[in-house]
Amino acid sequence: MPDPDLERAERAALEAVNAAFYAAFEAGDLDAMRALWLDAPDTVCIHPGALPVRGAGAVHRSWALVMANTSYIQFFLTDVEVSLRADVATVTCTENVLTGDDRTSPDVFGGAMALATQVFVRTPGGWRLWVRHAAPVLSDVGGHDA
């Protein structure tokens, strides 16, 4: 059942900014990545399996490190769900990830599945990432749709 307050244009804008996040990651475009995040001390990014990175400056530095250590990454998103309350929106999605590894041949890729919860805040310049929590899917126990 869709959220009655969620207008089509807002949903499209949120899906676009969510997609822009993954495009920036895939491209290793640190400037584009930086522009997507809320410039605030309470911005939080939880990379998969890691402890929280707090504050926009630390989040930007963490992305520089992640991108420097990623030779190739490609996302296929599934189950993208957008929800909205006033000026805050959440997007949850399944990240089906392909990564390359310099240590193997260039046509060998690893696959993985992670879940991301991303919380966006409306700003005069558009939606910005306030909180991202990404974590690997370990099993499908306990997970089911309504």
Site residues for a copy of itself per CB under 8 A? 1, 3, 40-42, 44, 46-55, 57-58, 62, 65-66, 79, 81, 83, 85-88, 90, 92, 94, 115, 117, 119, 121, 130-131, 133, 135-146
Distances (CA, A) of 61 to 29, 52, 64: 13, 13, 5
Closest CB to a copy of itself among 3 and 29?
3
Closest CB to a copy of itself among 1 and 9?
1
Rounded CA-CA distance 82/52 in Å is 23
Q: Retrieve residue 127's tokens.
A: 């939606």
Rounded CA-CA distance 28/63 in Å is 9
Closest CB to a copy of itself among 7 and 42?
42
Instruction: Check: CB of residue 93 under 8 Å from CB of residue 64.
Output: no
Find the shortest distance in angstroms from Cβ 106 to a copy of itself.
25
Q: Retrieve residue 24's tokens.
A: 């920036």
Find the shortest distance in angstroms from Cβ 46 to a copy of itself.
6
Closest CB to a copy of itself among 52 and 106?
52
Find the shortest distance in angstroms from Cβ 72 to a copy of itself.
18
Residue whose entry in the numeric block shows the structure tokens 């996302």: 75
> Which alpha helices (DSSP H) does the chain contain, by range?
8-27, 30-36, 56-68
Find the shortest distance in angstroms from Cβ 38 to a copy of itself.
9
